[in-house]
Structure 1
């Protein structure tokens, strides 16, 4: 299965165009944002757990990245409400579930095999946020090929101050204006290498999940 599989081209989606598809596990649905492969795939998805839904314990050979968008997501006896960010490195395993239901942003098989450490960050914690040159951000992960953070933007603030090797963003609050398109909460954009001065926060500002770096289109080589 190939969905937005050409990483040399822009891809985007707004929530009004979400197409929810059943997963192999009852009560768990997903919106496929990009995908290279069948059920075992390099994939980026919005995943929705119904209340009392779960997956049996399974392994992630290529790693898994999760941002909890709403509800509470659980791994065994650990519970992560909205705002938690997680990275489960290649070779890790877990048994995910949700008692109350949850919506997640999930990226599968997009990590370098050399990653070894679990990451757990509560982005609601004020101490997790930093300022640099007037920009407010919450660092989530960085290595020599990718940088992941949450960003808060003031009204009209540009998303990028310089060219990028590649970028992917999910709008969490507010609005991002990209050219002649508007993306509210749940809007997803993936950009190839280039400059994007037209990408700015809307009149109410915005907060976004933002990943930049060459891994956006070259995960297999990491």
Structure 2
């Protein structure tokens, strides 16, 4: 499967316009944002766990990064409520579940193979218009808060992704609301402005430089 697989092009996915697709695990569905591969894939998805659902134990050969959007996500290391940002590096293993249900934004098989850094950040405790969540030599992850009508300023030299947590923004005449996603290629011009209620965004920059 190849979905939004050309990283030299702009890609946009709107939550309300995208169907849920059943996964191999009962009660676990996903909305695919980009994907290269079949069940083991380089993928960015919104994944919804019904109450009591779980995945079998598995190893993340290419790493896993996720942000909890709703409910409480769980594995052997603990409970991860809304706002939890987690990076499970390559070779890490876990058994994900959601006793009461959960929805997450997740990125798979997108780590440096040598990365062994485990990260857990409670983003609900971060403040300021641009709070750093994670940074290394190849990428930067931030939680950004825009006032109504404010411009979104990002370094797009290495590409960027923008995911709407709350509120909205407009880019290239297109409006992005709650749980909508935008990806721009390296060097693209970003001209985006928050809507009338402002916006709270998850952003990632720099990570697409080696994809085009």
Query: TM above 0.5, one fold?
Result: yes
- Matched positions, count: 212
Structure 1 distance, partners of 2:23, 2:210, is 26
Question: How is 1:47-86 mapped onto 2 (pairs within 5 angstroms)?
Answer: 47-76=47-76, 78-86=78-86
Please give the TM-score of this superposition, normalised by the length of structure 2: 0.95
Which residue does 2:210 correspond to in 1?
218
Which range is displaced more, 96-105 or 116-125? 116-125
Counterpart CA distance in 2 for 1:115 and 1:153 is: 32
Query: Residues 130-164 of structure 1, C-alpha deviation per residue, up to 9 Å, x if partnerless?
Result: x4xxxx22212111111111111111221125553
Matched residue, 2:116 = 116
Using the alignment, how far apart are the partners of 1:10 and 1:197 within structure 2?
11
- Aligned Cα root-mean-square deviation (Å): 1.6
Gaps of 5+ in 2: none
Gaps of 5+ in 1: none
Deviations 1:183-208 (A, max 9, x none): 11111000012343521111111011
TM score, norm. by length of structure 1 = 0.91
1:80, distance to aligned residue in structure 2 (A): 0.8
Q: Corresponding residue for 2:28?
A: 28
- Equivalent-residue separation in structure 2 for 1:190 and 1:102 (angstroms): 24
Aligned partner of 1:193 among 186, 191, 210? 186
Distance 1:198 1:216 in 2: 19
Distance 1:117 1:201, change over 3 A: same
Pairing of 1:150-189 with structure 2 (within 5 A): 150-160=143-153, 163-189=156-182
Cα distance in 1, alignment partners of residues 160 and 65 from structure 2: 16
What are the superposed Cα offsets for residues 79-119 of structure 1, whole Å, 9 maximum, x if unpaired? 11111000000100001000110110000000112211211
Tell me, yes or no, if the aligned pair for 2:158 and 2:209 is still in contact at 8 Å: no
Alpha-carbon deviations, 1:12-43, whole Å to 9, x = none? 01122111101111110001110011111000
Q: 1:58 to 1:161 in 2, by over 3 A?
A: closer
Q: Distance in 1 between matches of 2:10 and 2:189?
A: 12
